[in-house]
Amino acid sequence: MNVQPVIARELIAQSRQPPTYWVRVVGAAVVMAVFALLSSGPLRPGRELGEFLFEALNVVAYHLILLCVPLLTADSISGEKRDGTLGLLLLTPLQARDIVLGKAISQALRGSTLLIALVPMLLLPVLLGGVGWRMALATVVVHASAFGIALTAGLVVSSLATGPVRAAMGAVLFAVVAVMPLNFLLATVFGVDLWPPLFLPAQWLSGMIIAQTAGSLPKLGLLFAGALAATGVGLWQAGRQIALFWQESEDSTDRLRAVVDLWIRVVALGTLATQGGLLVARSGGAGGSAQDSGLLLNLLWLAPMPFLAAAVTINRLAAAAPVSGLSATKPTAEQRRSDWRFFWVWAVLAALCPLLASLESLSPPQPSPGFMLVNAATLAGSGVIAGVLAFAWRRRWATGLAWSLVLSAALTAVVLAMAGAAAIWRGEGILKDTNALADSRVSQLLMSPLLGTAIFVSGAPAFLSEVHVFSGVPVESVAPLARMVVENSVGLALATVAAALLLPGLLGRRLRAIPATADRDEARALRRDFCEPLMGRRWFASRQRRRLDLNPIGWLHARQWSARLSGWGWCLAAVITQVPVFLNLRSVEVILAQQAWLFAALQAGVAFAAAGSFQWEKRSGVLELVLVTPISAQQLVRGRWAALLRQFLPTLVVMGLLLVLTVRLLWHRSVSLGPLAAVLLAAMPLISVPLAGLYCSLRFRSVLAAWLATCGMGLAIGIGPLLVAVGIGRILWGLSGPFASPLMGWVLVTATACVSHLAAARVFWRKLVAGLGGRRLVLP
């Protein structure tokens, strides 16, 4: 083991990178701001200030770790690949494990400086009193576990990626998903009621810490051991990927395979972690609503597994089958072996999940074991059908798997539409307090086998809690088991007949159409299917040509498949997270809170897209070439800004419509205007953030720094003038005058924010045009 040279090189390089310093400054500033904000507000009744502040600050610290640590590590290996230095390192006696370990240690040192910067603020609440040693210890263990997983997530994604932006996005996403099993484990070990935190993730850890008094040292040890094991597995995976560096082919099929396998491993590990946590919780006697919600969460986790297992194995095995002409790709012998290993893991998992779920379905209001088994069997059956159909159509495992999921989502959408129609037909309406979908006979016929898949595809567990199929209030309305078996069997039989009718045509046509040795690049095929138009290609091409004539810089942004994907992805996320809330309308405040969160998240997404916008042009020198063409700086900025707006336009339209709908609902109810103003305040940065992001993408060399600066600017532009305006207003009028009326107060606040964002947008526009024209933003 020889890690010292790697560590020394990394530390020297890090000391010269501005993000090393900025991350800790920003982290400390955020915690200080939260501290100032909370300590000036009213204290919750019955709680000591120290305890309250300690919990709140640790929630912030936890999320800072989840965000910053993967971002810091995301480009550590991919950067070496781009620069060609990874190959040079591997030509020395250094082993892949030395490189990974060296990177992990040096990145851990860098990340730990963020924690050290936070410590002084985290210690203040301890001095105020109310924080016991158990609470402090639990916090340290939780932070250390999250830190290890976040660090590993960054390294694993970095070992697979090559581009800095995709590495950064992938690292954060992977860290959030990889830490979920840890969160589930936390919840089940400590018996935390998870439902409210699913809506407000920032309270998640807070709830855990409150509950930690019920925990014990062995449980904390178990938690830490789990996180340590996950970290070890992650590092091993990164090392394995680095060792394969020389075998990486030009096409991205192998990398895609590695990425898919990795995600599926995380899902499998997460399943085991959840089960382990639940068993520990049960043995520890955690009960009541906490255990119920833990069980429910567990059921949600397990529900889509049979479908996924079936769809994955069908597609992989069909691709690996030694039948000439069946698959458009030709797997190697090693890949065949790996596919069979895959099959056995998933077969066991698929069988285990319903069994575990049925064992856990012990008491009302949880569904009965029989219900779970019937559902699991139906899900597995539909997984097989969807997998076979999709593979026969595309004859590639990755594309086939993706189409299986799309097929399932489409069927679920049909079912939901039918259920909604049935509810309306019965005169119940959709927007009412009772659960229309769960009461619907139509939904019961088809929803049970498909809903779990929809949840998996949408990634919105809240959806299930709202429709109450697996648990909750309408359990009594769920059909008896015998009828369920009949209904599901009929549904499955119908689907099988339909598949049998379709299959020969699909398979026969494809066998004739595609030679077995066709293009084996799965990633390209996937991109072709999901990021390029399947229909209306000519119209799409002519539209792109018009865009090119109108403004080539805008066209440049719009032609990227990743931009199109992220634009529509945000739109889908908005629909998925909002529609269920509207379907089961309990509180307008909940809808508004969700919309405020969504706008804040959208702002971060827009900031990321804008902050990465000019990075490639700057790095590759294309910007210099464009600036010596007749394209003016003004056209350049306008083109890119308009393209960013177009990218997020579908999401903005959906969000706008939902907001209008919410306002309409608000009209008839006596609710405070505060939440509505909060939504508007959260939405307003979208005026200035695209231009601020474009400016930062030229001003900063690193995407991470540009993104953080953009987000910071978006916040400061809104909050700064607002505080000044409110301060001046209070000095002039006190609590009388315009502030006497809440309506007037909120109107003033939102108007001030709107004006400041518009003014900032104008300033950034001018700075961009001047900076590009005068080359200040282009030259080093």
Partner 1 sequence: MDTKPAVETFNLTRLYGEMVALNNLSLVVNQGDLFGFIGSNGAGKTTTLRILATFLAPSGGRAEILGHDVVKDADAVRHIIGYMPDFFGVYKDMEVTEYLDFFGACYKIPSTQREKVVNDVLELVGLTEKKGALIGALSRGMQQRLGLARVLIHDPQVLLLDEPASGLDPRARIEVMAILQELQRLGKTIIISSHILSELETLCNRVAIIEKGRLIYTGPVQGVRDQMASGRVVWVRVSSDPEQAMQLLRARPEVTEVLPADGRLKVTLNSHDTDHSLVAEVLVKGGARLTELREDELGLEEVFLRVTKGETQ
Q: Applying CB under 8 A, which residues contact partner 1?
A: 250, 545, 548-549, 552, 555-556, 559, 616, 620-622, 624-631, 774-775, 779
Contacts of 382 by beta carbon, 8 Å cutoff, 6+ apart: 307, 310, 408, 449, 450, 453, 492, 495
Q: Closest CB to partner 1 among 317 and 548?
A: 548
Which is nearest to 338 in space by CA: 352, 319, 351, 353? Answer: 319
What is the per-residue DSSP string for 57-103? HHHHHHHHHHHHHHHHHTTTTHHHHHHTHHHHHHHSS--HHHHHHHH
161, amino acid identity: A
Owner of token pair 């501290």:
35
Owner of token pair 């039989």:
493
Q: Closest CB to partner 1 among 42 and 621?
A: 621
**In the complex, least distance from residue 626 CB atom to partner 1, rounded to whole angstroms:** 6
Check: CB of residue 154 under 8 Å from CB of residue 71.
Answer: yes
Please count the other Cβ atoms lying within 10 Å of the Cβ belonging to residue 484: 21
Name the burial class of residue 57, with classes exposed (0-12), middle (13-18) and buried (19+) by CB atoms within 10 angstroms of its CB. Answer: buried
Q: Closest CB to partner 1 among 427 and 630?
A: 630
Contacts of 542 by beta carbon, 8 Å cutoff, 6+ apart: none
Q: Closest CB to partner 1 among 44 and 619?
A: 619
Q: Closest CB to partner 1 among 510 and 646?
A: 646
Owner of token pair 């119940």:
428
Contacts of 698 by beta carbon, 8 Å cutoff, 6+ apart: 614, 618, 768, 771, 772, 777, 778
**In the complex, least distance from residue 78 CB atom to partner 1, rounded to whole angstroms:** 15
Owner of token pair 């998640």:
204
Check: CB of residue 286 under 8 Å from CB of residue 208.
Answer: no
**In the complex, least distance from residue 32 CB atom to partner 1, rounded to whole angstroms:** 37
Tokens of 478: 């769920």
Q: Closest CB to partner 1 among 13 and 625?
A: 625
Q: Closest CB to partner 1 among 81 and 97?
A: 81
CA distance 35 to 30: 9
Q: Closest CB to partner 1 among 427 and 621?
A: 621
**In the complex, least distance from residue 166 CB atom to partner 1, rounded to whole angstroms:** 12
Contacts of 136 by beta carbon, 8 Å cutoff, 6+ apart: 126
Q: Closest CB to partner 1 among 476 and 549?
A: 549
**In the complex, least distance from residue 535 CB atom to partner 1, rounded to whole angstroms:** 22
**In the complex, least distance from residue 630 CB atom to partner 1, rounded to whole angstroms:** 5
**In the complex, least distance from residue 549 CB atom to partner 1, rounded to whole angstroms:** 5
Q: Closest CB to partner 1 among 84 and 621?
A: 621
**In the complex, least distance from residue 84 CB atom to partner 1, rounded to whole angstroms:** 14
CA distance 342 to 509: 29
Helix 333-360 to helix 305-320 angle (10° resolution) is 160
Q: Closest CB to partner 1 among 627 and 763?
A: 627
Q: Closest CB to partner 1 among 536 and 774?
A: 774
CA angle 182, 183, 186 (to 5 degrees): 85
Owner of token pair 């936390």:
186
Q: Closest CB to partner 1 among 185 and 769?
A: 769
Which is nearest to 472 in space by CA: 438, 448, 445, 440? Answer: 438
**In the complex, least distance from residue 700 CB atom to partner 1, rounded to whole angstroms:** 21
CA distance 672 to 189: 38
Q: Closest CB to partner 1 among 279 and 627?
A: 627
Alpha helices by DSSP H, 668-702: 674-683, 685-699
**In the complex, least distance from residue 559 CB atom to partner 1, rounded to whole angstroms:** 8
**In the complex, least distance from residue 702 CB atom to partner 1, rounded to whole angstroms:** 21
**In the complex, least distance from residue 162 CB atom to partner 1, rounded to whole angstroms:** 11
Q: Closest CB to partner 1 among 250 and 476?
A: 250
CA distance 269 to 329: 29
Check: CB of residue 218 under 8 Å from CB of residue 63.
Answer: no
**In the complex, least distance from residue 632 CB atom to partner 1, rounded to whole angstroms:** 8
Q: Closest CB to partner 1 among 483 and 545?
A: 545
Which is nearest to 599 in space by CA: 680, 522, 518, 521? Answer: 680
CA distance 302 to 349: 10
CA distance 88 to 76: 15
Name the burial class of residue 307, with classes exposed (0-12), middle (13-18) and buried (19+) by CB atoms within 10 angstroms of its CB. Answer: buried
**In the complex, least distance from residue 556 CB atom to partner 1, rounded to whole angstroms:** 7
Please count the other Cβ atoms lying within 10 Å of the Cβ belonging to residue 228: 14
Which is nearest to 215 in space by CA: 127, 132, 301? Answer: 132
**In the complex, least distance from residue 87 CB atom to partner 1, rounded to whole angstroms:** 18
Check: CB of residue 326 under 8 Å from CB of residue 318.
Answer: yes
Q: Closest CB to partner 1 among 631 and 715?
A: 631
**In the complex, least distance from residue 10 CB atom to partner 1, rounded to whole angstroms:** 28
**In the complex, least distance from residue 698 CB atom to partner 1, rounded to whole angstroms:** 15
